[in-house]
Structure 1
Amino acid sequence: MQIIRSLTMFIAVANAMSFRKAAIEQGVSPQAVSKAVKQLETHLGLKLIHRSTRHLSLTEEGAQLFKDASLGMQMLSEALVGLEQSKQGMDGKIRLAAPLAFGNRVLTPLIEAFQAIHPGIHFDVLLSDDFVDIVSLRIDIGFRTGLSPERNVISRKLGEIVSVICAAPKYIDKFGMPADIHALQTHRCTAFLHPQTGKELPWEILANEEINYIHVPSVARFNNVEAEIEAVKQGVGIGQLSEYLITQELESGALVPMLPEGRVPRLGIYMYYAERVNIPSRVRRFIDFCMDRMLA
C-alpha cells in the first residue's frame, strides 16, 4: 500500500509539474509529497524527476512510468468504482445453494418474483441435498431443510416443516379413506429412503404430544422427494409429505389431507450466509425479500 501511495503522489506531481499543486490536490503537505516521491525513487533505484528551485522535469524513466502508471491507476480506479457500485447497486449476480425439492418448488418462484422487481440481478443456483460449504464454493446464500446449520454461519429460520399424510382423489375413490392410523396397515403407501443409508424412514405420528414412529406397507420407495410427491399425486399410494412442498396441491384438491395424527411439526427451513457486514446490497435485499415472503 505504501508503494501505491507513493505512486499516486508521483502521478499527481507529474500531472501538475508542481509539488505544491500536487500537495493541494492530495490534501497533504508539499514535504509529504516530496518524501513519497523520494521513497518511490529509492524503491525503484531510478531517478524519476529532475528538480530545481524553479523547474521540474521528468527523466526518461519517469516519463515512461508516468505513462504506464497513469493508465494502470485509471483501470484500478474504475475497478474499485465498479465494485462499490456493485455493492451499493441492484445489478449483478447472486449465488444460491438449496436442497433439490426446496429449489424446485420454493426457491424458483422466489427468484421469479424478485427478478420482476429487480431484473438486473441474475442468479447461479446450486441444488444439492448435501450440506453446502458456502465459503469454499463462493455461495452468497444457502438454504437448508431439517436442523439449523451449525458451521460458523449466520442462520435465519424461515419456517417450520410440517408433515402431512395425504393421497390423491383417484386413490381415495379406488381404495377408500383409512379410518385411523391402524387402518394404514391395510392400505398402499409410499416411503422415503434415507439418501446416505438407503434405509426406509418410518412415518411420524403425534400421540399424546409425543412423536411416535410407525412403518407402513410401502408399495413404492423413493430417495427423491419430488418423485415421491409425483407418485402420490398419481394415486400410487398414501404418502406422508412435507406440507410446504405441496401447498398448491392441497389448495387445489389434487392431494387430500387425512389422519390429523400424521400432522407433525418438527424440523425447520433455514437460510444461512457467511457475513453479517459488508454484504452487497443485492444480496441483503434478497435476504430480506425471502424473510418477508416466507414469514408472511
Structure 2
Amino acid sequence: MNEVRAISIFARAAVLGNLRRAAVDQGISPQAASHAVMQLEKTLGVRLFHRTTRKLSLTEEGERLLQGVEPALAMLSSAIADTRRAKEDIAGPLRISAPKALGRAMLWPSITEFAALYPDVQIDIRFDDHFTDLVEERADVGFRGGSPPAGGAIARRLVPIQLIVCAAPAYIERHGAPRVIDDLAAHRCTGYRRANTGKQAPWEFMIGDEIVYREIAAALCTNDIDTEADAVLAGLAIGQLGSFSAATHIRAGRLVPLLTAHLTQRESVYIYYRHRTEQPLRVRTFIDFMVGKLADDRTFFLTPAELRAFQRLAPK
C-alpha cells in the first residue's frame, strides 16, 4: 500500500465528506479510493470513518489522524507546487562547469550577458580543466573542448577548434618566421602542460592527409592557456594556440598565423547536459541562449577564405 497516497485520499474524503468526490478529486475510481481507505484502516487497526449510505463522518481516531497529517500534506503540496513553478520560472540556481581554457576568451562574455537578462537566476560557475561528470558534481550544464563527452550526456557542438601556430609581429621582426615545421627547432616556443596528465602537450600538424605530432622544446611552459596566449602576444615566443583564443588577435593584427598549410581542426567546443525533459526552465533557457550566441560563431575560428589568404601571404 502506498501510505502517502492513501492518507491523501483519506484527507480529501474527510474534507469533502464523500469518497466518490475524493476519488474524482484524486483522479481515481471510487472503488480504488474505497480500497485505499480500507487498507489504511486495516494497517492502522482503527476505523477512521462512520459510514452511511449518504455521507461519511470521522471517528475520533479519524479526527486525530486528520489533525496530525494536514500540516504535513500542506507542506507536501507546497513543495510540489514550488517544484512545478521551477519548470515555469526563469529563476533559481544554475550550476555550470567549464574549462578555464574556454572561460575568459569564449564563455564569460555570454554568461555575463545571460546573468544581466535573467537576474533571478543564481549562477554558480566552476572553471576546472578536468572533465566534469554532471551527476557526480551536481552541475546543470557543462562545456568541453575536445571530443564529445560520453556517459549519457547530450552534447551539442558549438565551434571547431583549430590549432594555429602564431607569433606576435614583434617576435617575427626580431627572429623571423619559420617557413617549414622543422624551422621551429631554431625558435623560442611556448608549451602547454595538460591538467589531466601533467605532461607537456605535443604540437600537432596536418601533413598530407595525416595528423603528425611533434615534441617541441618549450622556452616557456604553463598549464594555463590564457597565460600561454599572453606570452605569445607579448612577443616572447611562438605558440600553437586554440582558435578560440587566437582568432580575434589574428584579425586585429596582434598575432600572425604561421604554417597555416599544416593547421589541424579535429576537435570542437561542446555544451553538454542531461535530458532536456528533466531540466527546469532556467537551465533550458541558458542552454538555448548559449547555443544561440556561440554555435558556429566565426569570432572563434578562421574561415577557409581567411586561411587561404594567410597562406598566400606566408613567407616563401
TM-score range, shorter chain: 0.7 to 0.9
**Which residue is equivalent to 1:228?**
228
- Alpha carbon RMSD of aligned pairs, Å? 2.6
Matches within 5 A, 1:161-176: 161-176=161-176
**What is the distance in 2 between the residues matched to 1:192 and 1:32?**
67
Matches within 5 A, 1:5-24: 5-19=5-19, 21-23=21-23
Aligned to 1:61: 61
Q: Is the 8 A contact 2:130 2:196 kept in 1?
A: no
Tell me which residue corresponds to 1:219. Answer: 219
**In the superposition, relative to structure 1, how do residues 37 and 291 fare at CA in structure 2: closer, same or farther (>3 Å)?**
same
Corresponding residue SS for 1:88: coil
What is residue 91 of structure 1 aligned with on the other side? 91
Residue identity in the other structure for 1:289: F
> How far apart are 1:161 and its partner, in Å?
0.9
**Count of residues in correspondence between the two structures:** 296
SS of aligned partner of 2:191: strand
1:249 is matched with which residue? 249
CA distance 1:225–1:28, change in 2 (3 Å): closer
SS of 1:136 mapped into structure 2: helix
**Change in 2 beyond 3 A, CA 1:245/1:20:** same
Q: Assess if the C-alpha contact under 8 Å between 2:157 and 2:295 holds in 1.
A: no
- Measured against aligned partners, the alpha-carbon deviations of 1:245-287 in whole angstroms (never above 9, x if no partner) come to 2333233333232231342212222222232533322222222
Equivalent-residue separation in structure 2 for 1:33 and 1:69 (angstroms): 18
- Pairwise mapping of residues 1-296 of structure 1 onto structure 2 (< 5 A)? 2-19=2-19, 21-23=21-23, 25-26=25-26, 32-52=32-52, 56-296=56-296
Secondary structure of 2:277's match? Answer: coil
Q: CA deviation at 1:143?
A: 1.8
Contact 1:165 1:262 in 2 (8 A): no
Q: Confirm or deny: 8 A CA contact 2:233 2:254 kept in the other structure.
A: yes
Quick one: distance in 2 between partners of 1:276 and 1:24?
32
Alpha-carbon contact 2:130-2:195 (below 8 Å) kept: no
In 1, the alpha carbon distance for the partners of 2:92 and 2:223 equals: 36
TM-score normalized with structure 2 length: 0.82
Contact 2:19–2:33 (8 Å) recurs in 1 = yes
The Cα of 1:241 is off from its aligned counterpart by: 0.4
Aligned partner letter, 1:291? V
Instruction: Please say if residues 163 and 262 of structure 1, whose CA atoms lie closer than 8 Å, have aligned partners that are also in contact.
Output: no
After superposition, the Cα gap between the structure-2 partners of 1:22 and 1:260, relative to the gap in structure 1 and judged at 3 Å, is: closer
Q: How far apart in 1 are the matches of 2:28 and 2:269? A: 54
